[in-house]
Amino acid sequence: MKKLLLFVFIAVLGVTTSFAQGKVMGTIIDSDLGSPMPGTNVVVDGTTNGVITDFDGNFELTVDNNSGSLNISYVGFTTRKVNYKLKNGAANLGNVALTADAASLDEVIITGSGVIQVAEGRQTPVAVSTIREEEIRLKVSGNAEFTESFKNTPSVYVANQGGGFGDSQVFLRGFDDTNTAFLLNGQPINGQEDGRMYWSNWSGMSDVANAVQVQRGLGASKLAISSVGGTVNIISKTTDKKQGGSFRILGGNDSYVKGTIAYDSGVSEKGWAFSVMLDHWQAHRKYAIGTAGQGQNYMFSVGYVASEKSKFNFLITGAPQYHDQNFSQDPEVYETFGGKYNPNSGFLDGERYTERRNYYHKPVANLNWDYEINDKTDLSTVVYASWGRGGGTGSLGSSSNRVRFDEVPGVNEEIDFETIRENNIANADANGNGNFGDSYIRRSSVNNHNWYGLLSNLNYEANENWNLSVGLDGRLYKGDHFRQVNDLLGLNGFVDNFRTDRPDDYTFTEEYEADPWSALFNTADEANRTQYDYSENINYIGGFGQAEYVNDAFSAFFQGAVSTQSFQRTGRFTGSEIDGVNGLGESEKISKVGYNLKGGLGYSINDASTFFANAGYYSRQPFLDNIFQDIRNSNALASVDVDNEEIVGFEAGYRYKKGNIRINLDAYRTEWGNRFVSTGGQTTIDGNEVFFTDRFTDVTQIHTGFEFDFEYRPDHDIYRLKGYGSIGNWEFDGETPFTRQDNETLEFITLDDNTLDLSGVKVGRAPQTSFGAGLVINVCEGLSIDGDYNVYTDLYAQIDADDVVENAQNGLRTQADRLDGYGLLDLGLTYKFNFGGNRLTFRANAYNATNEAYVSRQDNFGISVGNGRTYNASMRYSF
């Protein structure tokens, strides 16, 4: 009997202990800002027992067990599991920090959700990687390029082009930026004339971007855009809903300094809010000598919530800057003078002076309207505009007047600007004027443009399975191109009497600054323009639509877009009769129709695993610069008709996401036919150095590859690990005709055989195999260290037409030169702490921490040496 009573007592005690009630409390905060997170869900693991945090991020939850775990979740942040153990019936977890979810953009897109075409807007998967604001701000906001914010993703290669600020180039699956679509808040921002991305114009994006989403291959965009390699969506900050601000000061190598201030008003009772951000940066060089730079960045945004169904946001941002440039050089030059050498540079009046300076100011403005028509239908519209002003400097005058030091015979040494100025003065006429044949001055090649556009999307949720959308994309673009005098270098004037029909004594006396702010208001009128002067007009109108079907396990979509684009040039300059060039008047208007079709399927075998496959076909209009080949003659159409390029893409993949681990696998094949390629180079003809342009038609490239990436975030939040990689095989296929044109005389150079067989030749300029890994370690509360290591190999040089022709004549097969592979290590340290009730964040970065010497790419002009070790450190005060 005693044993039975003892057993009952122990059983009752055990049951009472197991179901003893207690309270768990704590505060949920943003790991970046340290601010409270109201509305966060806190739920006991495996149950429906939960609460949401109050306005101050606090929670108190009644639990039935002495120990267990809580699942803490908030939209846009990674769900975190936290263990608790009651003591005397209670447990206080203190501050629990949540980290922004790198796989989601729901939280950062405040306005324009219908036109900002990110992967979250579609259920059928695509090959995608997302980089959030915190990573961008911590790792690349400073003397690192904005483009490097997305280099730690599969199949992305960021090449440092010559070491100047903003001169990097991005490759995606082996395709350069002219064949990758870049969008800012849904609006296309690739150059309308040539498709290029001039990243110096967007240097402020590291401070303006909320997120960057890299969609490789077919992507989720509905527009008829140049997304052969993929689509990169830059989502900028708009008017923030929360009140607060920040101030940051940053310093780096080679006297780099940057200051940034930002403030958000929060939403008023009447629905108004504004955000503002300003900064200034400068440095005497980036890495190579003669690469000084300076600029500003500004953003102003106003939001208005008109009603529960209607909201507006106006944004204007710009990044005026100038930076001195360094270009590709022969390997022998760097062997002689070292990796920091820049032959564009020299000294004038005891200070660094360069022949090549880029300066530009491109304000961008957009007005977003989001309107919920009813529970099933919503409309998003953005009207946008940009006004680009600026250009790049170079020499004007005979090349024989460019005096260089001659300490090393046969090697391109620095420019002797002091002697050039002395020669100008000595050879000037009685009025102090020089002319083309015996003088050297610095000119600016100006590229001004006005660009206006409208993008609108109507979305209709027919039922729980079907989602339909249609939209409109319109653009108007006008670009003005001419040259003007920048620096007379000791002359009173410059006589414009070379290859023009102007009078022999026609003289330029006015100088125009190579400055981004001055370029907004002070450029040469027609009387003071030299060498060429023309405008280019591009009008674009397109429509798109998409239908998607989704059920519990299956998804499918079909998307189509069609557009028409017209091109026309207007010339305002008359060439000399000797050259037979007449650049006056309007050209024939050329119109091209393009379209694309995409479709895909997705199937989820369970909550964790999804398989998908997508296919697409593009008929893409050529760029304007491919249609017109003579910058001085408005009627100089390409000698061969340039038709639409044809792209066929296939991709398939697997997604796994469960608990703390995420794995993505992707395979792809892209065939790009009827491609037009324009490349530059230099050669020697009859003992003279000739700079030329090769234009290839009917080029075919086939890119196949495999990609992977994974991320592991354990519950304890002590460390986070990610890895990524890509293995590609990118080759040319078939024969292509080409023409070669002398850049100085604009005459065509006839070779023995102007047809190249490129079958099996590797596509160059980007590594076909790359791997990387990243690790973040939280050392203690507020202190973390991180590192990223990337390996690049199977990197080939750009094809040289001279080599192909010579090999064909000798019965040899051409193969691209293979460059040495290399690995780069980036390190960082972050320390966050409270000061006076607000948050201070210290950040330090070391890029290429091991000071690896490497060649980032090789073209027909030579090699580009990558940047050696660079570094910066910053302090940010948030209030």
Give me the mean pLDDT over the 625-642 stretch.
61
Phi/psi for 185 (5° steps) reads 50, 40
- Amino acid residing at 68: G
Cβ atoms of 682 and 692 within 8 Å: the answer is: yes
Cβ atoms of 45 and 111 within 8 Å: the answer is: no
Closest-CA residue to 539 (of 496, 589, 583): 589
H/E run at residue 833: strand 822-835
The Cα–Cα gap between 62 and 775 comes to: 36
Phi/psi for 627 (5° steps) reads -85, -40
The Cα–Cα gap between 489 and 511 comes to: 10
CA torsion angle for 680, 686, 689, 694 (degrees, to 10)? -10
pLDDT band for 281, please (50, 70, 90 cuts): very high
pLDDT surpasses 70 at 812:
no
Give me the mean pLDDT over the 470-488 stretch.
95
pLDDT band for 858, please (50, 70, 90 cuts): confident
DSSP three-state, residue 673? strand
Both tokens assigned to 33? 């800002």
DSSP three-state, residue 365? strand
The whole model's pTM is what? 0.86
pLDDT surpasses 70 at 105:
no
Cβ atoms of 563 and 540 within 8 Å: the answer is: yes
| Residue 267 neighbours by CB under 8 Å, 6+ apart | 241, 273, 303, 305
How many Cβ atoms sit within 10 Å of the Cβ of residue 524? 19
pLDDT surpasses 70 at 610:
yes
pLDDT surpasses 90 at 123:
no
* C-alpha 702: how far from chain center: 24
pLDDT surpasses 50 at 15:
no
Question: What DSSP string runs through 576-597?
Answer: -TTTT-B--EEPPPEEEEEEEE
DSSP single-letter state for residue 855: E
Domains and CATH numbers, the chain: 19-98 (2.60.40.10), 119-235 (2.170.130.10), 236-878 (2.40.170.20)
Query: What is the per-residue pLDDT for 17?
Result: 45
The Cα–Cα gap between 92 and 194 comes to: 60
Query: What is the per-residue pLDDT for 411?
Result: 64
Task: Give me the percent of the chain exceeding a pLDDT of 90.
Answer: 47
Question: What DSSP string runs through 788-806?
Answer: EEEEEESEEPPPPHHHHHH
The Cα–Cα gap between 554 and 490 comes to: 73
Give me the mean pLDDT over the 562-570 stretch.
92
Instruction: Annotate 86-133 with three-state secondary structure.
Output: CECCEEEEEEEEECECCCCCCCCCCCCCCCCCCHHHCCCCCEEEEEEH
209-213, 604-608, 716-720, 830-834: segment of lowest average pLDDT: 716-720
Query: What is the per-residue pLDDT for 838?
Result: 81
* C-alpha 28: how far from chain center: 34
The Cα–Cα gap between 247 and 163 comes to: 28
Q: Which long-range contacts (CB under 8 A, 24 or more apart) does 297-301 make?
A: 297/203, 297/204, 297/207, 297/208, 297/260, 298/204, 299/204, 299/207, 299/208, 299/236, 299/237, 299/275, 300/274, 300/275, 300/276, 301/237, 301/238, 301/239, 301/274, 301/275, 301/276
pLDDT band for 643, please (50, 70, 90 cuts): confident
Closest-CA residue to 239 (of 395, 109, 77): 109
Helices within 707-793 (DSSP H only):
none
Who wins on pLDDT, 763 or 799? 763
How many Cβ atoms sit within 10 Å of the Cβ of residue 249? 14
pLDDT band for 408, please (50, 70, 90 cuts): low
Largest CA distance in the chain: 130
Tokens 């975030």, residue located: 713
178: left (phi over 0), alpha (psi -120 to 50) or beta: alpha
pLDDT surpasses 90 at 241:
no
The Cα–Cα gap between 578 and 581 comes to: 8
Tokens 């409208």, residue located: 454
Closest-CA residue to 320 (of 362, 279, 262): 362
Both tokens assigned to 610? 């999804």
Mean pLDDT for the chain overall: 86
Give me the mean pLDDT over the 184-209 stretch.
87
Query: What is the per-residue pLDDT for 131?
Result: 87
Both tokens assigned to 867? 């940047």
pLDDT surpasses 50 at 462:
yes
The Cα–Cα gap between 679 and 765 comes to: 12
Both tokens assigned to 794? 């199977």
Tokens 């099933």, residue located: 376
pLDDT surpasses 80 at 356:
yes
Reported as a single tens digit per residue, the pLDDT across 536-551 is 999 999 999 999 999 9
Give me the mean pLDDT over the 606-628 stretch.
89
Pairing of strands 50-52, 41-44: antiparallel
Beta strands in 659-761 (DSSP E): 661-685, 688-712, 719-733, 735-742, 748-749, 755-757
Pairing of strands 169-172, 80-85: unpaired
Give me the mean pLDDT over the 17-22 stretch.
60
Cβ atoms of 177 and 269 within 8 Å: the answer is: no
pLDDT surpasses 80 at 477:
yes
Give me the mean pLDDT over the 78-94 stretch.
87
Cβ atoms of 563 and 541 within 8 Å: the answer is: yes
The Cα–Cα gap between 838 and 832 comes to: 10
The Cα–Cα gap between 240 and 302 comes to: 9
